[in-house]
Structure 1
Amino acid sequence: METFVQLLEPVSGNLYLSAFVALIPILYYLVALAGFKVRGWLTGMTTMLIAMVIACVAFEMPAGFAGMAALQGIIYGILPIGWIIWMSVFLYKMTVKTGHFDIIRDSVISLTDDRRIQALLIAFSFGAFLEGAAGFGAPVAITAALLVGLGFKPLYAAGICLLANTAPVAFGAVGVPVTVMDGLGVYANGTPIPATDIAAMIGRQLPLVSIFIPFYLVATMAGFKRVFEVLPAVVVAGGSFAVSQFFSSNFMGPELPDILSALVSLVCTVALLKVWKPKTTWKFEGEPEQSVTPKSYTTGQIISAWSPFLILTISISVWTLAPVKALFKPFVIQYAVPLIHNNIVSSISQQPIAAMFKLDFIGATGTAILVAAILSKFVIGISWSDMFTVAIDTFKEIKLALLSICFVVGFAYVMNASGMTNTLGSALAATGNAFAFCSAALGWIAVFITGSDTSGNLLFGKLQQVAASRIGVDPLLAMAANASGGVTGKMISPQSIAVAAASVGLLGRESELLRFTVKHSIFLLIFVSAIVALQSTPILSWMIPAHP
């Protein structure tokens, strides 16, 4: 069987020239989507094809290998990612069909009809809870759809939810992005770096971001001056989240920071609204100054309306329990990807890379959402025929967006399998004394390409440790920076853009969404990079937890 050894410096034996060539598909994607406004699915398809050509021509990857890597990514784009999006939007559409979303909307408006605070409650706090319980696209899909139902403009709803999703990503899906790095790196004395230490270090970086995100979110929506009108809500939502994130990550491990922090933030913000209201109500331009008084509903009606999302939370939480995962394990279908399984040798580790088709339909988060939808049927009173119709109509609405997701995941898999991502990472790692500042950018690049902080940490976690050790930077700091920097790349990842666009009906307008998020992504990356750089110096080195 043919073996492909990834080349780190294939172009003239020069790392930086090779990195520039590897950067071409990414630059093309940004220019085509944001500059020339090419449709999302077409941009994704052509980006994947360009990546395949560069992989074969410049990085000397066999064409068959490139094709199989792309196919593996496309299948992953269908399950679990596409399945999550379809089911998330389907559940939301069910509540709209039965009229229960009107009650949800009025229950939120009864707390506040100020768009700034609604965004804090749903995009920031509730979105963080969903990120902690599920991850993988579900939080943005669900919260963006909820905001649109409340009357937010689709572009703002999607953009705001992508921006708000920055704070919880590193501990998403019950801490998976951190737990996958357990033992991946070693300290100077050869002791493996445990996930608990990495979680503690991230918990001394991201709370500084988390406390800032609500302020930044409101400023993005309404302008800097308007933030101070709702400053108590901003401080309570962000401050309670950040404090909880610090304590839970440092004293409880990587599994619960998002879930606990989100619950604390929600409870504290709702409690604040019981005793405080902003003096002025802010809405988007063109909306009426005075709201129509929401209808009054009984407690039972409100609970019934919210029940699909309560059931969703319980369902996803149960699905992620270790004993339940063990029950699903016998139903997982895995088989080696032809040609490429263990036949690609990494340019970093010099070890063969496993490539498996993994079909975990029963254990998928999308299936947990489907179960929640079926259970919700008996609470909200929708017929089986109407449920089926809503499901089909939802698929018709998002089918091209799902196609776009498949192509961009295929592009990511080609980048990884060909070694292009390793070349980009190594070029940044070779920046010498500037590495402490640049280490967060490695995570940013990885998450932009893969759409996942989990994948980004697997991709560059070890590279971060090796590079940091060579130049005298604490490897724990660098590995944590990979996760913390990665959260700022999630909002511009092609996968995330496609998911958000699909959830709010922005098919064909992905370029507008990317233009909305890219400047925020770069600004927040610089913010995280500055924190990491200062933590590598005596100024903030005291923030690094004690370790061997």
Structure 2
Amino acid sequence: MLLEVFQPVTNPLGAQWLSALVAAVPVIAMLITLGALRWKAHLAGPFSWATAVLVAVTAFGMPLTTALATSVHGFVYGLFPIIWILLTAIWMYEVTVASGRFDDLRRTFFLISDDPRVLGLLIAFSFGGLLEALAGFGAPVAITAAMLIAIGFSPLRSALIALLANTVPVAFGAVGLPVLMAAKTGGFDDVLAVSPITGRLTALLCLVVPFLLLAVMDGKRGLREGWPFGLVVGVTFGIAKWIVSATPLYNLTEVFAAVSSVIVAIAFLKVWHPRGGAEAAERIGIKIDPSVEKGAPVDAGRTSGEALTGGRIMMALVPYLLVIVVFGVAALPPVKAALASTDVKFAWPGLGGLLDVAGNPAVHQSYTLAWASTPGILLAFVAIVTGLIYRMGIGEIFGVLWTNAKKLRFAMLTIGSVVALAYVMGDSGQTLALGLFFAGAGALYPYVAPVLGWIGTYVTGSDTSANILFSSLQSGVGAEIGPGSHLGTESMRALLVGSNAAGGVVGKMISPQSLTIAATAIGIAGAESTILRRIIGWSFVLLALLCLLSGLMSTPVLSWLLP
């Protein structure tokens, strides 16, 4: 059998706007079926993938066998590591439920404050940021959404909060991998040419996101009664991001930001207390959409009603302390290298002739089975150790795993098909066709640069993948428009690449992968369309803010913000 060689083109229809319009059809199909038509995600995902294959074959000239081969590759990647990480994150949490420690955890949170809005910010924004820094891959959304339910938030409200909070830390998540790949793909020898820009753009978002979270939690009353706490958390988080992202410790930006925000916030609570906490506790549990939020999504399991002693508090915090310790150790360079050395890499059948736009072998020619170097195995370890500490039997621990694996069957189909869609769009040239269309904006391009990161992350579910897709393009556009600009060539290149990484963080919350993770975590499979309709507006607002900041940073108005 002859090897089919395929090199994608980015303007197959002769007009970039037309090629981009056709390339956008799968993305539009996902938004319409999931948002407007309210299809279940496990139906919208495969339909949108089939649309991407049709566009790839008919408009972009990709051989059908190649399109199917890269689709299977993407589907497998969706199962492992993405679904595997989601499953283990939920497994770890559900072990605490099955053991009866769930209620202790809830009562422990209220020792910090009796106001659930305060706790919601600390859990979703600060602790979620720490989880993103250490794990990523959707684990922060899965874990924090479940924890929010534990303190009384309604299921859909918990999902919205977790997704909205999982924005500002994304660019430096997974120990700085997204911004590292942005700099590398953009052609920069030093990541510090890019990371401070991304850090400062996302630090400015920290002045907005906590207030949006308060509004989602408790509307105008949440803003009126909780704004001082939101300001303290946001400013502390943002200052830490601003400073650390410009140092050689850039990969620990979110660790420093999360920890410092918690410390300052707890200290602030010693001198300030929000009003209306008791009334808010009743409001946050009101279901947003009773037709979707049917039944109790979480069973608190066995609760003893015993006094909350220091020992019980420590036991309730065991899984989360283990997460911090285990992931902290795994991030150490020698340990990280040892785990990565266990990766198994092999050529993917049917993709030996797949090239990228430049004519080089495409990255999807091979598949890497990273069984030990992704967060899944670490979360599984934490789940097992937690269960043993809680004196659960091995059979009971793995019984929890099997129960939740069955619950994830539709999420497996959704995420697998969405990643397959991303692979087909990327390998056929559709994604770059969209990028080149926006790149034609000329001198106004800095005002739309974050949109590419937003699109890339929406399609792929990963800011890292979005940076790999578009950072080279962003750098090239910067080289073209830089010489006649206020910034000059190198600074313009750095701004555009950094803006791409920042734009991706606000696309994360509406990515079909993230929506499925959130819906699964709150125990309402099929709620993705409801969540999307309620959160997409915030994504647009934050994207518009980033576009404005990026554009003004290319002019004398805000160029002083650049390093």
TM-score, normalisation: structure 1: 0.94
State the alpha-carbon separation in 2 of the partners of residues 367 and 351 from structure 1. Answer: 33
- Aligned residue among 271, 276, 279 for 1:280: 276
Question: Do structure 1's residue 19 and structure 2's residue 20 form an aligned pair?
Answer: yes
SS in 2 for 1:5: coil
* Partner residue in 1 for 2:323: 312
8 Å Cα contact 1:402-1:498 kept in structure 2: no
Deviations 1:373-426 (A, max 9, x none): 122123222221211221111112222112211111111111101110000000
Matches within 5 A, 1:530-545: 530-545=548-563
- Aligned residue among 342, 345, 352 for 2:361: 352
Distance change in 2, residues 1:48/1:284 (3 Å): farther
State the alpha-carbon separation in 2 of the partners of residues 54 and 95 from structure 1. Answer: 46
Question: Do structure 1's residue 471 and structure 2's residue 460 form an aligned pair?
Answer: no
Distance change in 2, residues 1:515/1:284 (3 Å): farther
* Partner residue in 2 for 1:94: 95
Distance change in 2, residues 1:179/1:267 (3 Å): same
- Aligned residue among 377, 380, 386 for 2:387: 377
* Partner residue in 2 for 1:198: 194
SS in 2 for 1:283: helix
* Partner residue in 2 for 1:438: 448
8 Å Cα contact 1:184-1:193 kept in structure 2: no
* Partner residue in 2 for 1:107: 108
* Partner residue in 2 for 1:119: 120
Stretch of structure 1 that moved more, 73-82 or 373-382: 373-382
Matches within 5 A, 1:140-539: 140-186=141-187, 192-281=188-277, 282-283=280-281, 285=283, 296-341=307-352, 343-347=353-357, 349-355=358-364, 356-472=366-482, 474-539=492-557
State the alpha-carbon separation in 1 of the partners of residues 217 and 386 from structure 2. Answer: 33
Deviation for aligned residue 1:287: 5.0
Identical pairs, percent? 37
State the alpha-carbon separation in 1 of the partners of residues 282 and 481 from structure 2. Answer: 50
* Partner residue in 1 for 2:72: 71
Deviation for aligned residue 1:487: 0.5
Deviations 1:52-91 (A, max 9, x none): 1110011000001100111111111111110111111111
SS in 2 for 1:345: coil
User: Aligned AA for 1:43?
Assistant: A
Distance change in 2, residues 1:224/1:287 (3 Å): closer
Deviation for aligned residue 1:311: 0.6
State the alpha-carbon separation in 2 of the partners of residues 130 and 440 from structure 1. Answer: 24
8 Å Cα contact 2:167-2:509 kept in structure 1: yes
User: Aligned AA for 1:134?
Assistant: A
Stretch of structure 1 that moved more, 150-159 or 265-274: 265-274
Number of residue pairs matched? Answer: 532
State the alpha-carbon separation in 2 of the partners of residues 85 and 544 from structure 1. Answer: 37
SS in 2 for 1:256: helix
8 Å Cα contact 1:78-1:406 kept in structure 2: yes
SS in 2 for 1:9: coil
Deviation for aligned residue 1:153: 1.2
Deviations 1:474-508 (A, max 9, x none): 10000000001110100011111111111111211
* Partner residue in 2 for 1:57: 58
* Partner residue in 1 for 2:489: none
8 Å Cα contact 2:340-2:372 kept in structure 1: no
Stretch of structure 1 that moved more, 99-108 or 229-238: 229-238
Deviation for aligned residue 1:364: 2.3
* Runs of 5+ unmatched residues, structure 1: 187-191, 289-293
8 Å Cα contact 1:488-1:525 kept in structure 2: yes
SS in 1 for 2:372: coil
Stretch of structure 1 that moved more, 244-253 or 454-463: 244-253
Deviations 1:142-194 (A, max 9, x none): 101111122211111111111001110000010000112344335xxxxx452
8 Å Cα contact 2:236-2:264 kept in structure 1: yes
* Partner residue in 2 for 1:5: 7
State the alpha-carbon separation in 1 of the partners of residues 270 and 207 from structure 2. Answer: 22
SS in 1 for 2:346: strand
8 Å Cα contact 1:45-1:408 kept in structure 2: yes
State the alpha-carbon separation in 2 of the partners of residues 280 and 215 from structure 1. Answer: 17
User: Aligned AA for 1:399?
Assistant: R
Deviation for aligned residue 1:536: 0.4
8 Å Cα contact 2:152-2:284 kept in structure 1: no
Distance change in 2, residues 1:444/1:78 (3 Å): same
SS in 2 for 1:135: coil
Deviation for aligned residue 1:531: 0.4
State the alpha-carbon separation in 2 of the partners of residues 5 and 173 from structure 1. Answer: 31
State the alpha-carbon separation in 2 of the partners of residues 362 and 420 from structure 1. Answer: 33
State the alpha-carbon separation in 1 of the partners of residues 409 and 121 from structure 2. Answer: 30
State the alpha-carbon separation in 1 of the partners of residues 168 and 339 from structure 2. Answer: 31
State the alpha-carbon separation in 2 of the partners of residues 86 and 132 from structure 1. Answer: 19
Distance change in 2, residues 1:182/1:305 (3 Å): same
SS in 2 for 1:181: helix
State the alpha-carbon separation in 2 of the partners of residues 47 and 483 from structure 1. Answer: 25
Stretch of structure 1 that moved more, 307-316 or 520-529: 307-316
Deviations 1:317-358 (A, max 9, x none): 2223321232234432111112324x23333x3433132211
User: Aligned AA for 1:6?
Assistant: P
8 Å Cα contact 1:433-1:471 kept in structure 2: yes
Deviation for aligned residue 1:528: 0.5
Stretch of structure 1 that moved more, 107-116 or 86-95: 107-116
State the alpha-carbon separation in 2 of the partners of residues 122 and 329 from structure 1. Answer: 30
State the alpha-carbon separation in 2 of the partners of residues 544 and 286 from structure 1. Answer: 40
Distance change in 2, residues 1:287/1:60 (3 Å): closer
State the alpha-carbon separation in 2 of the partners of residues 284 and 219 from structure 1. Answer: 16
Deviation for aligned residue 1:270: 1.9
* Partner residue in 2 for 1:291: none
* Partner residue in 2 for 1:189: none
TM-score, normalisation: structure 2: 0.92
SS in 2 for 1:357: strand
